[in-house]
Structure 1
Amino acid sequence: MIQRIQSVFLFFVAASLVTLVFFPLWNKVDVEKSEVVTLTALSLVHTKMDIDTGEEQVIMEQPTYYIAIVVLLAAGLALYSMMKFNNRMLQIKLNALNSLIMAIALGLSVYFIMEGQHILLPNVQGNYLFGFYLFVAAMLFNMISNRFIRKDERLVRSADRIR
């Protein structure tokens, strides 16, 4: 199972997605008002920093746990697909489904980013952070693993023709 390169890439998919839950996806800073809007997989938080005391005051907090649920579902599906190494066609289908689930999670993230965009300075862009790029890494790893699974399947079929 682990000796196959596609299993390593599927593990990277799961690891990227689980790591994504613990890192912020996006933030936007208003330096003049000392306000920050931050999106994680669990919440969209608008905070204000009191310059005199150094305390952060939460102005608004919106739960975004939908992102975390969908991301963890995709990570679980990647691990399940990794365990189905003896059925390559099922693996290909599971990885296609996983791509769809990751696209849904990315869509949810973009939706909440657009909501956060309007909270502070609507005409100024926010910053995409490390967590957001983990989506890209997970999708790339999923695509690469699918490519190796197809290559493996072609190799097995060509060996069957030779027999």
Structure 2
Amino acid sequence: MIQRIQTIYLFSTFIFSGILVFFFDLWKTKENSVFAVDLLKSESYQLKSIPILFLVSAILACIAIFMYNNRKLQFVIGRLTILVNLILLGLLIYVSLMLPGEAAVSKKGIGMFIPIFAVLFIVLANKAIKKDEDLVKSADRLR
């Protein structure tokens, strides 16, 4: 049942975490904008982990889309995706506060809010998955 509403929510998470993160900047300095792809070239492991966590979140959302036969596992993968996005959000906040010259030079980009949108869509997807699971359980009681 891939045509359920949770598939739309999970696909939206995939779009946000896997595609849009590479088009929206994470923060801006006086010289340039910093994108997730630029962080892969940095020497710091903290900065390299940001695009990797975005891709892990997108891959988990994509896996959860195709786990429609096993709703319990789909729900657990959704929770795991929420955890990855919360770790990512905390890392982004930490890195943005520790930027050199933070007070005067940098501005936050729209890419900093992508994990928040991803968590929102995963929560909505998990709510729909739970609703489907309750519906199946109630139908089993009637047999």
Give the TM-score category using the shorter length. Answer: 0.7 to 0.9
Alignment partner, residue 144 of structure 1: 124
Identity of aligned residues (%): 35
User: What does residue 26 of structure 1 align with?
Assistant: 27
RMSD of equivalent CA atoms = 2.1
Provide Cα deviations, 1:2-43, integer angstroms capped at 9, x if missing partner. Answer: 311101110000100011133211225xxxxxx346443244
- 1:123 deviation in Å? 4.1
Unaligned runs of 5+ in 2: none
The total of aligned residue pairs comes to 138
Whole-angstrom CA distance in 2 between matches of 1:71 and 1:84: 20
CA distance in structure 2 between the partners assigned to 1:77 and 1:132 by the alignment: 20
Structure with greater helix share of residues: 2
How far, CA to CA, are the matches of 1:83 and 1:127 in structure 2?
38
Relative to the length of structure 2, the TM-score reads 0.85
Could you report, residue by residue, the CA deviation over 1:31-66 in whole angstroms, capped at 9, with x for unpaired residues? xxxx3464432446xxxxxxxxxxxxxxxx666221
What is the rounded CA distance, in whole Å, between the counterparts of 2:16 and 2:120 in structure 1?
11
For residues 103 and 109 of structure 2, what CA distance do their matches in structure 1 show? 19
Structure number with larger C-alpha Rg: 1
In the TM superposition, what are the counterparts of 1:32-71 in structure 2 within 5 Å? 35-36=30-31, 38-43=33-38, 64-71=47-54
Runs of 5+ consecutive residues of structure 1 not aligned to the other structure = 29-34, 45-60
SS in 2 for 1:23: coil
For residues 124 and 43 of structure 2, what CA distance do their matches in structure 1 show?
35
